[in-house]
Structure 1
Amino acid sequence: MKNSLDSKLLLQVFEKIRQHGEQRDGAYHLNGIKAFTDFDGYTLYIEDALVKLSYGFHNQYHFDYEKQSQFDAFEKKLVSIDKEY
């Protein structure tokens, strides 16, 4: 499934998770969100237990989730991290 979120928000949140999160298993973890990159750093991944986001070159991104409510909760977590940190 595909949804829209501001690219600037996604990049800001990724960086805040990287700066303030706990690093383990090749990823950063903060407030229930996991963030990591592929081996070359061109694709970012941000996910929780129910939603997966891949964000690639040229601001292309894709969400994977089953229900809209899952996406809505994920978006709230991202906005919360952006405001809190």
Structure 2
Amino acid sequence: MTFISNIERYYLQRHIDERKQGWLDEGSAKGAADVLQTLLQQKFGRLPDWASDRIHQANTSTLQRWALNVLSAETLQGVFEQ
């Protein structure tokens, strides 16, 4: 049996927690991107490649802001400008 010191255990747990957080952030951004894309397609029809690219490169807070912009934007470009 291998001995793990308290310091090693601490850093191992910290690494595991950081990895979990990364996975959660990625999943959250992907879910937000999917929702935004669905909203935009419903309101404006098929999305051009530039819009899909911007959506999939954005972080979660930007995606949430754009999703709120869908409510008041009159054009697809207006969603991303505000």
Shorter-normalised TM range: 0.3 to 0.5
Structure with the larger strand share = 1
Structure with the larger helix share = 2
TM-score (structure 2 length as normaliser): 0.33
Work out which of the two has the higher radius of gyration on C-alpha atoms and give 1 or 2: 2
TM-score (structure 1 length as normaliser): 0.32
